[in-house]
Amino acid sequence: MAMSFQPRTSNSRGPQRGSQGGPQRGGSSGGGGYNRRDSSPNGQRSTNRQQQQRKKRTCRFCDSKDVYIDYKNEKRLQRFVSEQGKIIPRRITGTCAHHQRQLVTAIKRARHLALISFVNDAVS
């Protein structure tokens, strides 16, 4: 009993996504238009984010040429901790990767020695 090999055509697998075979996702019929997320039919977003250039933040520690971030300086470390007690990420603060790692270890040391609280007292 020998089986002959026949290559599959695009129609042999049944209905595929976007074809007329089944229900479509997205709620609206007609797939050629524009998505709800896009603001124009060409797919280009007309937001102000692309037009508006954000100023590049520089690292505070590189500017002041600090060699070591001291865990005992709690006032300085408090700037990099949110009200909830979370460490603010470097994309928001603008610190470089080298100083962000030093900052995280200094905050964790200060928390361990109870110089900085783990969470704010107002959060329950």
Cβ-contact 82, 88 below 8 angstroms: yes
Cα distances (Å, whole numbers) of residue 96 to 24, 57, 67, 124: 46, 10, 13, 33
Condensed to tens digits (0 to 9), the pLDDT of residues 11-43 reads 655 555 555 555 555 555 555 555 555 555 565
pTM: 0.54
Q: Domain residue spans in the chain?
A: 60-112
* Percent of residues, the chain, with pLDDT higher than 90: 38
Given CATH 3.40.50.300, say whether it is the number of domain 60-112.
Answer: no
Return d(Cα 61, Cα 90) in angstroms, integer.
Answer: 12
